């Protein structure tokens, strides 16, 4: 049951360092031809250089693998499309896309400039959209594809000073949920990875045992999510060698109508919040079905 990627082509964005570099190296070591995409900018997204991507390509080549560097900004849809066209001309297919590129512009919401909010959304969310859109029809034609969105506990659960980052990261979960549904008939499996790792993105954090949070300890989870036997619509958390699943769930709730419905909601909020028999919906319509079932039960009683 060894996971291999022989004959497959993988694109990894933000692969010039940190998690992306580990992902690229591991995919190459297991047989994939890898596109190492990295703008080469600073942690806040400023600047750019091919040095980081080319260094990872050199590492892969030195280990006997095959890779190509690309410095397209994921915020530039035309540049991303050109990257994918180059990959197709060279290798003829794209099997795996790892949307890993990201930046930070942390501040409390009160102090955050809207431009910093927009840029983080553009890189994380729209960057993933651009890359996914560029490979989507290729994967549909192949009847095969594996895509991973890099989400975060900051998006799933919140984190002070990261309203922009958290919003983008939770948006990627919504994107993953829908694309997994739409891609199922063509065996395009789409998942989300929520990593905890010591990279330049976390170098300012206090109180974490950073020596135990190597990015290489996250990559095994990524390899499963892009393998032939990958799940789909999974949110996999990973860090320090630990792996967990996160879920978006829906409670069974309660019913309230009439002039005092707001007061009923307030009075029954604990019952509405009760997680007994909660579900992980197969699609968004599940909410409406639960609500209509309660309404029908009320009107037939």
Q: Which residue has the tokens 């596109």?
A: 35
Among the listed residues 68, 64, 100, the one whose alpha carbon sits nearest the alpha carbon of residue 84: 68
Q: Which secondary structure element, helix H or strand E, spans residue 11, and what is its range? A: strand 9-13
Return d(Cα 35, Cα 53) in angstroms, integer.
9
Strands 96-99 and 9-13: parallel
Instruction: For residue 165, indicate whether it is catalytic.
Output: yes
Catalytic residue among 165, 175, 188, 199: 165
Q: What is the rounded (10 degree) CA torsion for 10, 121, 77, 69?
A: -40
Among the listed residues 118, 120, 168, the one whose alpha carbon sits nearest the alpha carbon of residue 176: 168
Q: Which secondary structure element, helix H or strand E, spans residue 189, and what is its range? A: strand 188-196
Catalogue the active-site residues: 165
């Amino acid at each position: 049951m060894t996971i291999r990627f022989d004959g497959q082509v993988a694109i990894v964005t933000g692969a010039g360092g940190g998690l992306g570099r580990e992902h690229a190296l591991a995919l190459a070591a297991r047989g994939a031809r890898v596109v190492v995409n990295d703008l080469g900018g600073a942690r806040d997204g400023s600047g750019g250089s091919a040095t980081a991507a080319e260094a990872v390509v050199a590492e892969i080549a030195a280990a006997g693998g095959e890779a190509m560097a690309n410095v397209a900004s994921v915020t530039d849809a035309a540049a991303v499309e050109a990257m994918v066209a180059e990959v197709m001309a060279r290798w003829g297919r794209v099997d795996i896309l790892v949307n890993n590129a990201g930046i930070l512009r942390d501040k409390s919401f009160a102090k955050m400039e809207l431009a910093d909010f927009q840029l983080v959304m553009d890189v994380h969310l729209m960057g993933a959209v651009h890359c996914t859109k560029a490979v989507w029809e290729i994967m549909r034609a192949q009847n095969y594809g594996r895509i991973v969105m890099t989400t975060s506990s900051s998006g799933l659960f919140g984190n002070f000073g990261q309203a922009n980052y958290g919003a983008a990261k939770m948006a990627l979960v919504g994107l993953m949920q829908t694309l997994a549904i739409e891609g199922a008939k063509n065996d395009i499996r789409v998942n989300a990875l929520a990593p905890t790792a010591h990279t330049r993105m976390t170098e300012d954090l206090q109180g974490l045992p950073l020596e135990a949070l190597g990015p290489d300890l996250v990559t095994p989870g990524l390899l499963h999510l892009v393998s032939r036997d990958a799940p789909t619509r999974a949110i996999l958390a990973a860090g320090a060698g630990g792996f967990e699943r996160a879920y978006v769930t829906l409670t069974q709730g309660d019913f309230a109508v009439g002039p005092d419905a707001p007061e009923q909601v307030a009075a029954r909020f604990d019952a509405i919040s009760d997680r007994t028999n909660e579900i992980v919906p197969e699609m968004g319509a599940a909410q409406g079905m639960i609500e209509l079932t309660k309404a029908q039960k009320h009107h037939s009683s």
